[in-house]
Structure 1
Amino acid sequence: MTADATRLRTLLHGDTPVTWVLTGDSITHGLVHTHGARNYVDHLHELIRGDMSRIQDVIINTAISGWRIVQLLDDFERRVATWRPHVVTLMIGTNDCSTTGALGTIEPAEFAASVTDFVARVRALGAIPVLQTQPAIDVRNAPERSRITEFAQAIRDVATAEDVILIDQFARFAEMGAGHVNDIPWGLLGDPFHPNAAGHALLALEVAGALKLAPLPERDRVLPALRALVHAAR
Structure 2
Amino acid sequence: MTADATSLHALLDGGTPLNWVLTGDSITHGLVHTQGARTYAEHLHELIRGDLVRTQDVVINTAISGWRVVQLLEDFERRVATWRPQVVTLMIGTNDCSTTGALGTIEASEFAASVTEFVARVRDLGAIPVLQTPPTIDPLNAPERSRIGEFVQAIRDVAAAQDTILVDQFARFSELGADKVNQVPWALMGDPFHPNAAGHAVLALGLAEALGLEAEPVRDRVLAGLRGQLLLAH
TM-score, normalisation: structure 2: 0.96
Partner residue in 2 for 1:158: 158
Q: Relative to 1, partners in 2 of residues 1:98 and 1:7: Cα closer, same or farther, differing over 3 Å?
A: same
Structure 1 residue 75, shift from structure 2 partner:
0.1
In structure 2, the residue corresponding to 1:135 is in which secondary structure?
A: coil
Amino acid at match of 1:200: H
CA contact (8 A) 2:19 2:87 kept: yes
Partner residue in 1 for 2:127: 127
| 1:135-214 paired onto structure 2 within 5 Å | 135-214=135-214
Partner residue in 2 for 1:229: 225
Partner residue in 1 for 2:19: 19
Runs of 4+ in 1 over 2 A off after TM superposition: 220-223, 230-233
Structure 1 residue 226, shift from structure 2 partner:
1.7
Structure 1 residue 232, shift from structure 2 partner:
4.0
Partner residue in 2 for 1:114: 114
Determine the C-alpha separation between the residues in 1 that align with 2:72 and 2:228.
35
Structure 1 residue 12, shift from structure 2 partner:
1.0
CA contact (8 A) 1:86 1:126 kept: yes
Determine the C-alpha separation between the residues in 2 that align with 1:96 and 1:18.
30
Determine the C-alpha separation between the residues in 2 that align with 1:55 and 1:33.
28
Amino acid at match of 2:206: E
CA contact (8 A) 1:202 1:230 kept: no
CA contact (8 A) 1:201 1:226 kept: yes
Per-residue CA deviation, residues 89-148 of structure 1 (Å, 9 max, x unaligned), is: 000000000000000000000000000000000000000000000100111000000000
Determine the C-alpha separation between the residues in 2 that align with 1:181 and 1:222.
27
CA contact (8 A) 2:204 2:218 kept: no
User: Over the residues paired in the alignment, what is the CA RMSD in angstroms?
Assistant: 1.0
In structure 2, the residue corresponding to 1:90 is in which secondary structure?
A: strand
Partner residue in 2 for 1:45: 45
Determine the C-alpha separation between the residues in 2 that align with 1:164 and 1:56.
25
Identity of aligned residues (%): 74
Structure 1 residue 230, shift from structure 2 partner:
3.6
TM-score, normalisation: structure 1: 0.96
Per-residue CA deviation, residues 175-225 of structure 1 (Å, 9 max, x unaligned), is: 00001111111100000000000000000000011111117xxxx644312
Determine the C-alpha separation between the residues in 2 that align with 1:115 and 1:33.
26
In structure 2, list runs of 5 or more residues that go unmatched: none
Structure 1 residue 231, shift from structure 2 partner:
5.2
CA contact (8 A) 2:201 2:218 kept: no
Determine the C-alpha separation between the residues in 2 that align with 1:182 and 1:222.
28
In structure 2, the residue corresponding to 1:20 is in which secondary structure?
A: strand
In structure 1, list runs of 5 or more residues that go unmatched: none
Structure 1 residue 36, shift from structure 2 partner:
0.4
